[in-house]
Structure 1
Amino acid sequence: MQMPVHIVAALGIVENDQEEILIVKERRSDQWVFPGGQVEVGENLMDGLIREVKEESGIDVKVSHLTAIYSNTGTYKGHSGVKTVPTKVMFDYVCKPIGGELSSSDETSNSQWVKKNEVLDMVTSPALRTRFQAYLDFEGHVFYMDYVTQPEFKLKHKRTV
């Protein structure tokens, strides 16, 4: 039996004192997204998230609390030589900015603060819209959701844990 392989990732909903949310524009897709990404070997979730937010946006953050855990259980053809993208397990955290300055990176072409009520005007990915709505609906209980993104987004399961 082959051991299962999962990508583990963390995403930051970074909110400042003016009720603005940090978003970044991906170079690869030219879409606005929330900063975050894959946790590297030997790195814990929160350190990986802090590193990814800094790399993608220039902003230093403190992790506040977990809002949701997601499984993207769809597998599909990857890019950059990856034959099949495996199942992903993703953790969404609320973060607070503690320093740094907005910047772009090798992965992002722009980063900016957006009023909380305008985020969904800019973030178009159905999966990220669903995840932002979970952040908006958070009342102290962590959400768990299972979805697929290919060939189209489909939410398969949602509950609190």
Structure 2
Amino acid sequence: MLMPTHIVAVGGIVENQEGNILLVKTRDGGWVYPGGQVEVGENLLDALSREIKEESGIDTVVSYLIGVHSNTRIHKWYDGVTDVPTKVMFDYVCKPVGGELSISEETTDSRWVAKDKVLDLITAPAIRMRYQAYLEFDGTINYTEYVTKPKFELKVKRTL
């Protein structure tokens, strides 16, 4: 019997004192809030701070959890052979505490964007939905299940 495998990832919606949101533009071309996969032996909060720093140059403190999301579509990796398993993502609100905006191997741009203009830049349906959950956050944790391919489909949406 195969042991279940999941990719664990974190996302950080970083809001500065002026109410602007940190966005990064990925090399794949899309604007997103920073985040990425948790490495072996790394906890969620350290992974998130590392990912934000790597992608944007900004140092942060993680404030609170706002959402848990599952992308349950299993598809082939770039090699065409390896299965990419279910991805479980934890979204947090973060506060900047230092650093300077920069780019990385993964990003081509980073900037502070007015909270009400963020959805003008984010085009990926799953990221848009997760950001909307931040805008609507009322203290309850959002949970969604979705697939992204062949097209975005929301399967479950609820609060916990």
Shorter-normalised TM range: over 0.9
Q: Which residue of 2 aligns with 1:15?
A: 15
Q: CA-atom RMSD, angstroms?
A: 1.0
- TM-score between the two structures when normalised by the length of structure 2: 0.97
Pairing 1:100-115 to 2, within 5 Å after superposition: 100-115=99-114
In structure 1, how many angstroms separate the alpha carbons of the residues matched to 2:137 and 2:19?
15
TM-score (norm 1): 0.97
Q: Which residue of 1 aligns with 2:50?
A: 51
Instruction: Assess, with a 3 A threshold, how the Cα gap between structure 1 residues 109 and 82 changes in structure 2: closer, same or farther.
Output: farther
% same residue: 62
Q: Deviations over 1:31-60 (max 9, x none)?
A: 111100000000000000000000000000
Give the Cα separation in 1 of the matches to 2:82 and 2:103: 29
Structure 1 stretches of 4+ with a deviation exceeding 6 A read none
Alignment of 1:133-148 (within 5 A): 133-148=132-147
Cα distance in 1 for partners of 2:38, 2:125 equals 23
Deviation string 1:1-32 (CA, Å, 9 cap, x unpaired) is 100110000000000111100000111x1111
> Could you say what secondary structure the match of 2:75 adopts?
coil
Q: Count matched residues.
A: 160
Structure 1: gaps (5+ residues)? none
Query: Structure 2: how far apart are the matches of 1:7 and 1:139?
Result: 27
